[in-house]
Amino acid sequence: MALDNDRNRVLVSLRNDPDGADSAMLATSLGLAKDIVERHLRYCADYALIVWNKHGNGSARAQITTRGRDYLIRQQL
């Protein structure tokens, strides 16, 4: 359950930031380790909930997609 909650927190954070965010910014704002955030970003990207192309240092900005917004609505978030 914690994985889903953290994943949802990442998605909500991206939904609330129209410019998107990189993994370091998300890790800091959510109080999670950067590797945990990147795991959630990879999962969300695999399911087209976000757009994110990680560079070697994780500096790419992630942005939520329409599908990601729909997912949050279905989760009542």
- pLDDT over 90 for what percent of the chain? 73
Please give the pLDDT value at position 60.
85
Helix, strand, coil tally for the chain in percent (to 5): 60, 10, 35
In the DSSP assignment, the letter for residue 53 is: -
Residue range 1-38, pLDDT digits in tens: 355 899 999 999 999 998 899 999 999 999 999 999 99
Going from N- to C-terminal start, the domains of the chain cover 2-74
Contact 30, 54 (CB under 8 A): no
Please give the pLDDT value at position 58.
53
Q: Tell me which of 1.10.290.10, 3.40.50.300, 3.30.450.40, 1.10.10.10 is the CATH number of domain 2-74.
A: 1.10.10.10
Please give the pLDDT value at position 1.
39
Among 26, 22, 25, which Cα is nearest to 54's? 22
